[in-house]
Amino acid sequence: MPKHMADKKAKVVVLISGRGSNMMSLVEAARARDYPAEIVSVISNRPDAAGVPWAAAQSIATEVIDHKAFKSREAFEAELETALVASGAEIVALAGFMRLMTPGFVARWQTRMINIHPSLLPNFKGLHTHEQALAAGVKIAGCTVHYVRAEMDAGPIIAQAAVPVLSGDTAATLAARVLAAEHRLYPSALRLVALGRTRIVDEKVILSEDVNDSLPLFSPRV
């Protein structure tokens, strides 16, 4: 995994399918001089993705590769791979990218491709995560940044953030609380990856140093 050096930042391409709010949080974080990664390109599989004009306005290279224009998933991914290689991508960050990758594509990028998911994986994979959390009656929800694997919403976990579930929550209010956590978690996790502080052992991420304390999180508060 690319390591940050004084004269070199890891080149990151962000893949989006919609508004790209997590992409925006990565771009904002990367503005800091000491941030170890730079966002070199934003690619969308949807021409109408609102995040594309936003990224272009930030002077970031953008590209639309419409998956509907290809006869197969493999053909789409071949074009995507060409764009990634051309950009010099060292890390690929999925940010609301609503396409499942083929095992072959994942295998080629699996130590360099990360994703953020709005639940505390391995719980509540797939869509409608907040509805799933509320239906299960959990008292703590959250989000996860993980390395991508062929299985949907699976792969070694890099970082997680937890938020309380309140008694009056709807899917929308819980989603807003989780999204705010996502915007803080993703830049932090990308920093760890760009610095080379994550290594994968037996499909688990080991950090080069432990940054956590041992305090528990209670919900409801005690």
Per-residue DSSP letters for 200-220?
EETTEEEESS---------SS
Q: Beta strand pairing status for 37-44 and 91-94? A: unpaired
Is 213 inside a domain boundary?
A: no
Overall domain count for the chain: 1
Is 167 inside a domain boundary?
A: yes
Is 145 inside a domain boundary?
A: yes
Is 2 inside a domain boundary?
A: no
Catalytic entry in 117, 130, 146, 183: 117
Is the CB of residue 148 less than 8 Å from the CB of residue 109? Answer: yes
- Six-digit token pair at 84? 């990634």
pLDDT tier for residue 1 given thresholds of 50, 70 and 90:
very low
Residue 7's pLDDT is 60
- pLDDT for 78-87, tens place per residue? 999 999 999 9
Residue 214's pLDDT is 74
Residue 217's pLDDT is 84
pTM comes to: 0.94
Using alpha carbons, select from 38, 32, 39, 44 the residue that is nearest to residue 9.
Answer: 38
| For residues 199-209, average pLDDT | 93
- End-to-end alpha carbon distance in the chain: 41
Is 161 inside a domain boundary?
A: yes
Provide the domain limits for residue 52: 10-207
Residue type, 203: E
Residue 5's pLDDT is 43
What CATH number is attached to the domain comprising 155?
3.40.50.170
What percent of the chain shows pLDDT beyond 70? Answer: 96
Is 83 inside a domain boundary?
A: yes
Residue type, 41: S
Radius of gyration of the chain (CA): 17
**Active-site annotation holds for 67:** no
Is 32 inside a domain boundary?
A: yes
Residue 203's pLDDT is 97
Cβ neighbours around 103 below 10 Å, total: 11
Is 90 inside a domain boundary?
A: yes
